[in-house]
Amino acid sequence: MTELLPATPQGIARAAALLRDGVPVAVPTETVYGLAARADRAEAVAAIYRTKGRPSFNPLIVHVLSVVEARQLGQLDDRAEALAAAFWPGPLTIVVPVREDSEDSKVVPAVTAGLPTVALRVPAHPLMRAVLAATGLPLAAPSANRSLGVSPTTPAHVMASLGHGVAAVLDGGACLQGVESTIVALRPAGQWSLLREGPVTCGELVALLGCEPVDAGGGIEAPGQMRRHYAPGKPLRLNAATAAADEYLIGFGPVAGHCTLSASGDLAEAAARLYAALHQAAAADQPRIAVAPVPVAGIGAAINDRLRRAAA
């Protein structure tokens, strides 16, 4: 049976003990719940891939407690340091070259899917940070759901997707931001690519890095780049003002729907409620889903990115 661990010192200690033993545990972050495992053991990372049914060519994000730990795993140049100072702890993942010249580097090749780069993040959620502190380990943690499915923002979502395939879930309630972290890959000659839209917007990154992003190319360098992802298991139609008789309508702003991302048109609220709404629609009687138009400004770009992949 899956253990539902309370957000107490005892629950954190139990989660840390399982993780140290190489057992994956679902842990809340400020974005979504992650299926965490120690990043320095191949068998622990393999358990993530096995539990999620995730293809092994899809790299994982490594979560660490601070920029000090990040420097032990990846090569952080001045741009990475500036991004870390501005957005860590928080929902930004930075893809940098793996650091291979240090005995402190603790990432097994299964985490990077054999690539010469590693995706690093310092999360802000107090429970995830407490778990990182208690284990003293870097934790690989993709979203705690079956591969390509809708990401989980509550313990119930984790259980519905993974069932008893996960040993324990640390209960942090609902995640506040609701869409996965922004992912930036730093390139040579001052260039960079936006691999995944997220809470940190492209405009904020351009303002800090001083130039527009370059095309990422066709390769998979980080999570969330596959054309089909976040799928609710039903056909999904975008930019719908009304619903057909066989559709469950997810509303936004003036489009009410069966449920709404935000009745007031608040994009931050919409991001926080996106995956919960998709889970709700997936469980509804209607065989199809329609989603009202959502503006692309700010975090709306991340919302539309997830919806396009869910509809693919």
Q: Could you give phi then psi for residue 204, rounded to 5 degrees?
A: -65, -40
Tokens 């495992």, located at residue: 37
Please give the average per-residue pLDDT across 288-309, as a whole number.
94
pLDDT of residue 103: 57
Examine the pLDDT at 102 and tell me if it is beyond 60. no
pLDDT of residue 294: 97
Please give the average per-residue pLDDT across 43-52, as a whole number.
90
- Per-residue pLDDT band at 58 (split at 50, 70, 90): confident
Identify the top-confidence range among 96-105, 187-196, 211-220.
187-196
Residues 6+ apart with CB under 8 A from 195: 95, 183, 184, 185, 216, 221, 222, 224, 225
Q: Which residues sit opposite 163 in a β-bridge?
A: none
Q: What is the mean pLDDT of the chain?
A: 92
How confident is the model over 28-38, as pLDDT tens digits?
A: 999 999 999 99
Helices then strands, each counted (H, E), the chain: 10, 14
pLDDT of residue 114: 80
Please give the average per-residue pLDDT across 212-218, as a whole number.
86
pLDDT of residue 170: 98
Please give the average per-residue pLDDT across 7-23, as a whole number.
98
How confident is the model over 62-78, as pLDDT tens digits?
A: 999 999 999 999 999 99
Q: What is the largest CA-CA distance in the chain?
A: 61
pLDDT of residue 227: 66
pLDDT of residue 95: 96
Nearest-angstrom CA–CA distance, 196 and 304 = 11
Please give the average per-residue pLDDT across 11-21, as a whole number.
98
How confident is the model over 271-282, as pLDDT tens digits?
A: 999 999 999 999
| pTM of the full structure | 0.86
- Per-residue pLDDT band at 56 (split at 50, 70, 90): low
Nearest-angstrom CA–CA distance, 200 and 28 = 19
Q: Which two tokens stand for residue 49?
A: 């891939």
How confident is the model over 183-195, as pLDDT tens digits?
A: 999 999 999 999 9
3-state secondary structure of 20: helix
DSSP 127-187: HHHHHHHHHTS-EE--BSSSTTBPPPSSHHHHHHHHGGGSSEEE---S-SS-SPPEEEEE-
Nearest-angstrom CA–CA distance, 187 and 195 = 12
**3-209 CATH fold:** DHBP synthase (3.90.870)
Q: Could you give phi then psi for residue 155, rounded to 5 degrees?
A: -60, -35
For the chain, the structural domain boundaries read: 3-209, 236-311
pLDDT of residue 128: 98
Work out the end-to-end distance of the chain between its first and last CA atoms, rounded to an integer number of angstroms.
Answer: 34
Q: What is the CB neighbour count within 10 angstroms for residue 163?
A: 11
pLDDT of residue 55: 66
Q: Which amino acid appears at position 5 of this protein? A: L
Nearest-angstrom CA–CA distance, 154 and 152 = 6
Q: Strand 139-140 vs strand 192-196: parallel, antiparallel, or unpaired?
A: unpaired
How confident is the model over 140-150, as pLDDT tens digits?
A: 999 999 887 88
How confident is the model over 162-190, as pLDDT tens digits?
A: 988 899 999 999 999 989 999 999 999 99
CB-count exposure of residue 26 (10 Å: 0-12, 13-18, 19+): buried
Nearest-angstrom CA–CA distance, 283 and 246 = 14
Examine the pLDDT at 218 and tell me if it is beyond 80. no
Q: ω before 295 within 30° of 0 (cis)?
A: no
Q: Are 119 and 60 in contact (CB under 8 A)?
A: yes
Q: ω before 254 within 30° of 0 (cis)?
A: no
pLDDT of residue 207: 97
How confident is the model over 111-133, as pLDDT tens digits?
A: 988 888 999 999 999 999 999 99
Please give the average per-residue pLDDT across 5-24, as a whole number.
98
**Which among 274, 281, 262 is positioned nearest to 302, based on CA atoms?**
274
Give Cα separations from 34 to 135, 166, 181 (angstroms).
Answer: 16, 11, 11
